[in-house]
Amino acid sequence: MTQATVRIIRQEHAALSAMLRSIVQLLEQHRRKGTLPDFAVLRAMLFYVDEFPEKRHHRKETELLFPRLRARTPISRDLLDKLDEDHARGERRIRDVEHALLAFEMMGESRREAFEQTVGEYVDFYLGHMALEEREILPLAERVLTEDDWRDLDEAFAQNRDPLTGHVADFEYNALFTRIVNVVPAPIGLGPAL
């Protein structure tokens, strides 16, 4: 049986991937049409990426899951260090993306390419990070963690469910999610993709 912790991590990754890919699609669509995006929509999407995964999802991995793994096995220590580093750097990187967005909004067309590039690099970084966790870390956790580990982790992880995955969530993230779903243009919409 899949552990709740593993299921939640995978669901949150899927939701976050959908959000990141939607941002890229939105930008491509506007580039093709030669139009400027709705900056309020982009701000909301990036704010979500900043808030939920950076402040909560990654924190749970770094503070709860990874220490358990380090305690149980010497395997993949370097990889865990690298992923922790990614978590620490992620916050800085999302600031860069948000700044590039502000520059695009303030300065217009001349900053479109720089913003698209910053977003593209961030999305690649993030998707690569999540793929490593899913390919290496989650299977390792399933092999080495004990019943007690899982009970503690499941309890902690269940407290912060991601509204994008359709589970009960903190009301503030629910409100943010609803706002984003309502403003993302229909062909790209987040809801049906999940």
Question: Which amino acid is residue 6, in one-letter code?
Answer: V
Q: How many residues bind Fe ion (CB under 5 A)?
A: 3
DSSP letters spanning 94-138: HHHHHHHHHHHHHHGGGGHHHHHHHHHHHHHHHHHHHHHIIIIIH
Return the number of the residue (47 or 125) whose C-beta is nearest Fe ion: 125
Element (H, E) at 82: helix 77-107
Tokens linked to 70: 């380090």
Q: Give the whole-angstrom CA distance, residue 189 versus residue 181.
A: 7
CB of 91 to Fe ion, least distance (A): 12
Q: What angle do CA 12, 189, 5 make, to 5 degrees?
A: 10
Residue number with CB closer to Fe ion (58 or 112)? 58
Q: Closest CB to Fe ion among 58 and 68? A: 58
Q: How far is the CB of 113 from Fe ion (least distance, A)?
A: 29
Closer to Fe ion at the Cβ: 133 or 162? 133
Provide, rounded to whole angstroms, the least separation between the CB of residue 184 and Fe ion.
Answer: 23
Of residues 49-68, those binding Fe ion (CB under 5 A): 58, 61
**Least distance (Å) from Fe ion to the CB of residue 115?**
24
102-141 mask for Fe ion (x: CB under 5 A)?
-------------------------------x--------
Left if phi > 0, otherwise alpha if psi is -120 to 50, otherwise beta: which for 2?
A: beta
Taking the C-alpha atoms of residue 19 and residue 148, their distance in angstroms, rounded to an integer, is 34
148-167 footprint of Fe ion as x/- string (CB under 5 A): --------------------
Binding site residues, Fe ion, CB under 5 A: 58, 61, 133
